[in-house]
Amino acid sequence: MVPPFGTHGLSAPMERLRAATVHLPGNRIGRALSSLIRRLVSRGPDDPIDAEIFPGIRTRLRPGTNRCEKRVLTGAQFYDHQERAALAAALQASDSKPFVFADLGANVGLYSLWMVARARAAGRDLQVLAVEPDPVTRSRLLANLAASGADNVEVAPVAVGAEAGRGTIVEHGNNRGENQVAASDPSGGEGFEILPLDQICARHGLTRIDAMKVDLEGHDEAALRGMFETAPEALWPRMLVVEAGKGEASPPVVRLCEANGYAVAGRTRLNAIMQRH
């Protein structure tokens, strides 16, 4: 991380206030206080803030340009807490050595870093594959991994798709987490590779996946269809967190998983937690 972690730290009083939000209750009052304190400690929209968001996990957050970074700046315990709890439980219950976690659409690494923190706390071996094609977002991911000493996370600079191709990033504007991958002319050599999951895993030496998070901004179903069609079943994770949206109770991506041996173990505001039979 250049400049080193701490360069963009909050003042001592503001950091104490920010850090205290981890003790807020998980109710409406706690969330409202977290939001209020976030507004108090935040800076300009492009100004970074260095903060330890999970035990031992150091990040350089840019809350003005990425919603997930905004959400963990204060009250990090509220950020996707059901999804993270399910992943932590899967890690704790597994006898895999190492436990293999795939983070598809890793963004700045919050899920990957959470798993690193939980594995350290539990004394468990962990191997993470973080897939992030957006070069700007990926640079933030790499900096966070370096600052946190997360050398068990390998980053794949590609996108996940149903078949091989090339793609470019279509930027959302004020939220990097909503940037999308658009297919580009494969003969032009521009952009980055789009690969099915089994090819990405082969490139990084993975022969199995224990748990996986999928957040590909509209490409989740295509990526999972490619996995089910071409990947060996050892790469089908036992537990899967996938973006399912706010609308119908059983969207196409959930039905696809159910057709391939998964059951819904939980639903949150945006995601489905799927467990393989």
Do both 140 and 222 map to the same domain?
Answer: yes
**Same-domain pairing of 268 and 191:** yes
Model pLDDT for residues 4-33, shown as the tens digit of each residue: 999 999 999 999 999 999 999 999 999 999
Cross-strand partners of 213: 103, 241
Comparing CA positions, the residue from 149, 88, 93 lying closest to residue 121 is 88
Q: 168 with 262, same domain?
A: yes
Inter-residue contact 64 to 175 (CB < 8 Å): no
Length of the chain: 277
- Residue at a domain's end among 78, 94, 110: 78
Residue 143 in tokens: 């900096």
Residue 2 falls inside a structural domain: no
With respect to residue 131, please indicate whether it lies within any of the assigned structural domains. yes
pLDDT at res. 231: 96
Question: Is 180 part of any domain?
Answer: yes
Q: Which pLDDT score, from 0 to 100, does residue 4 have?
A: 96
User: Distance between CA atoms of 201 and 121, rounded to whole angstroms?
Assistant: 27
Question: Model pTM?
Answer: 0.95
Q: Is residue 7 part of a domain?
A: no
Domain assignment present for residue 96? The answer is yes
Select from 33, 63, 78 the last residue of a domain. Answer: 78
pLDDT at 120: 98
Within the chain, strands assigned E span 49-54, 57-61, 99-104, 126-131, 153-156, 159-160, 165-170, 180-183, 192-195, 211-214, 239-243, 262-267, 271-276
The CATH number linked to 150 is 3.40.50.150
Rounded Cα gap, residues 243 and 249, in angstroms: 12
Query: Going residue by residue through the chain (277 aa), what tens digit of pLDDT does each one get?
Result: 999 999 999 999 999 999 999 999 999 999 999 999 999 999 888 899 999 999 999 999 999 999 999 999 999 999 999 999 999 999 999 999 999 999 999 999 999 999 999 999 999 999 999 999 999 999 999 999 999 999 999 999 999 999 999 999 998 878 888 888 888 877 767 789 999 999 999 999 999 999 999 999 888 999 999 999 999 999 999 999 999 988 777 899 999 999 999 999 999 999 999 999 8
Residue with tokens 């959302």: 172
Q: Which domain holds residue 242?
A: 81-276
pLDDT of amino acid 112:
98
Domain final residue, candidates 48, 78, 108: 78
List Cα–Cα distances, 70 to 49, 78, 110, 145, in angstroms.
10, 12, 12, 18
Assess if residue 125 is contained within a domain.
Answer: yes
